[in-house]
Chains A and B, each alone.
Chain A
């Protein structure tokens, strides 16, 4: 039986250009960690044979919808799951074609770690830089560069070393805390789950070992106390006549009963009376727990308000500087209002200024180019109808992120990271 009490959850995303072997790598992880069932295996065996392969095409395990098979493309982010006795893993599998930026940003937004695949025969290419930049922009703490298809370069250390050195030169421009390098062959299984017998010169760990052991405990912010109120619980029953609880998920920090807190936007202060859950009252609550907080004093609080510590407050304001990634085929329109969602708050916003667009391959600022369309990344200034309570995205993913929504179609059109 799995020891679920000790297990942690690691969310990671995979990036690579078409044909870098991304699907094969995921298939290999699932297959070698025994997350593949017999009926799935049978179906993949049949398809591999019918296509004339003399090996098992592992990429078929992540084969998606009929609509995709017909066009031989992957439409969208797909989520895969596997577990080892140490950790449970959620993979956000993002396709590597035209809508790449949009999909990778989506997959990266919840990831602790990004695997970026590099084809050993081609080395660091434009796509590698683009994927790394997105990972750095989304503040993914750990990046793993997998130099894949080592079998096709005779498992050469020289080839590998050159790629590592090229990548390091490029990555010096990025803000990433933790970068790892691995020589692998997803197709043959070298250094994925099992150690390779073909690369004696490599002394590091396998990919799975790295995924199981990379330290993610400090990825959540446990310093700045932020509790966006999601829902007000008022049972109005005989047993709980005067009960008024503020339900939500801790965005960051640690809350305890007795803490002196302040409620935004009203600014009223009070103390935490209790932190309630269905399983009883608890002594402390931290991200990403879902709890219900009650206060000593009766204050008018509703969804979208935020409970914080008196001496550690977020920024409050209506003029917000943001890096956005545009996600919709309808381009940004400066003459219209957008709906904006930030924590549990809904406001309207207009785009006051487009500062510059970022060339995703070179990191250059394009000051003259103000046309923002699908997959573009830009720095803009927003003006909101009501103040937001926010932190910079680099300090706090939960209170530093926002989305823009088209008022007509109601589609999510942009992802924003507050500067």
Chain B
């Protein structure tokens, strides 16, 4: 008898495509949150697969802190052109100018937290009822409890104690007026799965993920990219280092790692040997033990 087995990466892919199609079928105005990071790049790739040969039937949303790596923006613009998809850009600077968000002060100032304000405003302005993101459950303990379809109340908030049970493949996207959903189609992927898949599918990535020379600052055990957005202490001196990034976010809080990995294969070997979680390089998570949980409740991505 023939055996019908899917290997696990193909099974994860099939599950994610199923969820993305379910979003397109159940919601009026879905969108895909695109940060330029590898997870949202995979999400975009999966969305292309889900609707082929048609184009992706919903827009991408990019929340732009104004503190981006230039490489991210170049990558984003090329991708949008190549796959012919609509993109909505929400500017944190606009939220600051309109007084809805207040810029943080001091040496550790970051616009990471302010993104929530801009995100919720952008979703409201475009009446988005389902925002898909590339968050994974292996990233962080608050995310380990997320559903695929995560319900948000009319204030955009997450209530971990009142989540809808999710059974079999039956995803309940029913909602009352004013409520919306966050959807996480790659919940079941790990960092290693993501890299394996990028390799398997030969997906192009922003150059930041590969080794390069960069001026960095050492702060609290993290290497931060030197930029105009960073306030330096007197003791902090930029040094030129051979680094790459494991995650890509706002320049002020994304840490680099010392690495000479120049290809996806080399990165996979590095990830397999590494003993730090990828969010270990994120200053935004280090603010407290429940930093992610607190931000999620407020409506953070």
Interface of A toward B, CB cutoff 8 Å: 1-2, 4-9, 37-40, 43, 63-67, 75-81, 83, 87-88, 90, 102-103, 105-106, 109-110, 217, 220, 222, 230-231, 233-237, 239-240, 243, 245, 247-249, 254, 276-279, 286-290, 292, 303, 327, 339, 341-342, 344, 397-398, 401-403, 405, 409-412, 415
Given A233-B53, A303-B25, the answer on whether A286 and B168 have CB atoms closer than 8 Å is no
Query: What's the dominant secondary structure at chain A's contact region?
Result: mixed
Which residues on the A side are within 8 Å of B4 (C-beta)? Answer: 217, 220, 222, 254, 286-287
Would you call B168 and A289 a contact (CB within 8 A)?
no
Which one of B6, B21, B138 lies within 8 Å of A288 (CB-CB)?
B6
Contact bitstring B157-199, A, C-beta under 8 A = 1, else 0? 0001101111111101011100000000001101011001000
Given A1-B269, A288-B15, the answer on whether A7 and B8 have CB atoms closer than 8 Å is yes
Would you call A276 and B25 a contact (CB within 8 A)?
no
Would you call B190 and A65 a contact (CB within 8 A)?
no
| Closest Cβ–Cβ distance, residue A25 to chain B (whole Å) | 17
Which residues on the A side are within 8 Å of B54 (C-beta)? Answer: 233-237, 240, 243
Stretch at the interface among B43-51, B206-214, B223-231, B252-260: B43-51
| Closest Cβ–Cβ distance, residue B187 to chain A (whole Å) | 7
Interface of B toward A, CB cutoff 8 Å: 3-15, 17-18, 21-22, 24-25, 48-55, 137-138, 141-142, 144-145, 160-161, 163-170, 172, 174-176, 187-188, 190, 192-193, 196, 200, 265, 268-269, 272, 274-277, 280, 289-290, 293
Which one of A38, A247, A398 lies within 8 Å of B50 (CB-CB)?
A247
Which residues on the A side are within 8 Å of B174 (C-beta)? Answer: 339, 405, 410
| Residue among A80, A90, A105, A230 facing the most chain B CB atoms (10 A cut-off) | A230
| Closest Cβ–Cβ distance, residue B270 to chain A (whole Å) | 11
Would you call A410 and B176 a contact (CB within 8 A)?
yes
Would you call A83 and B169 a contact (CB within 8 A)?
no
Would you call A77 and B145 a contact (CB within 8 A)?
yes
Given A63-B141, A233-B53, the answer on whether A109 and B167 have CB atoms closer than 8 Å is yes
Which residues on the B side are within 8 Å of A77 (C-beta)? Answer: 145, 165
Which one of A75, A286, A397 lies within 8 Å of B161 (CB-CB)?
A75
Which one of B5, B24, B172, B265 lies within 8 Å of A217 (CB-CB)?
B5
6 example contacts (A-B, Cβ-Cβ < 8 A) are as follows A39-B276, A64-B144, A67-B161, A76-B161, A290-B13, A292-B52
Which one of B9, B22, B50, B175 lies within 8 Å of A4 (CB-CB)?
B9
Would you call B144 and A37 a contact (CB within 8 A)?
no
A401 to B, closest residue via Cβ? B168
Would you call B15 and A76 a contact (CB within 8 A)?
no
CA distance A88 to B138 in the complex (A): 13
Top 7 nearest A-B pairs (CB, nearest first) are A235-B54, A9-B8, A278-B49, A66-B290, A38-B275, A410-B174, A290-B17
CA distance A397 to B169 in the complex (A): 10
CA distance A397 to B168 in the complex (A): 8
CA distance A38 to B278 in the complex (A): 11
CA distance A63 to B52 in the complex (A): 41
Which residues on the A side are within 8 Å of B9 (C-beta)? Answer: 4, 7
Given A63-B141, A88-B8, A290-B17, the answer on whether A240 and B53 have CB atoms closer than 8 Å is yes
A10 to B, closest residue via Cβ? B8
Would you call A401 and B167 a contact (CB within 8 A)?
yes
| Residue among A6, A40, A64, A65 facing the most chain B CB atoms (10 A cut-off) | A65
Would you call B190 and A83 a contact (CB within 8 A)?
yes
Which one of B168, B193, B268 lies within 8 Å of A1 (CB-CB)?
B268
CA distance A2 to B166 in the complex (A): 31
Given A231-B24, A234-B54, the answer on whether A38 and B276 have CB atoms closer than 8 Å is yes
CA distance A254 to B166 in the complex (A): 27
| Residue among B174, B277, B289 facing the most chain A CB atoms (10 A cut-off) | B174
Given A1-B272, A7-B7, A65-B290, the answer on whether A415 and B165 have CB atoms closer than 8 Å is yes
Would you call B172 and A410 a contact (CB within 8 A)?
yes
Which residues on the B side are within 8 Å of A88 (C-beta)? Answer: 8, 193
Which one of B6, B22, B138, B176 lies within 8 Å of A81 (CB-CB)?
B138
Which residues on the A side are within 8 Å of B169 (C-beta)? Answer: 249, 398
Which one of A4, A38, A64, A106 lies within 8 Å of B165 (CB-CB)?
A106
| Closest Cβ–Cβ distance, residue B24 to chain A (whole Å) | 6
A403 to B, closest residue via Cβ? B170
Would you call A412 and B172 a contact (CB within 8 A)?
yes
Would you call A411 and B290 a contact (CB within 8 A)?
no
Which residues on the B side are within 8 Å of A43 (C-beta)? Answer: 289
CA distance A77 to B188 in the complex (A): 14
Which one of A64, A235, A288, A415 lies within 8 Å of B167 (CB-CB)?
A415
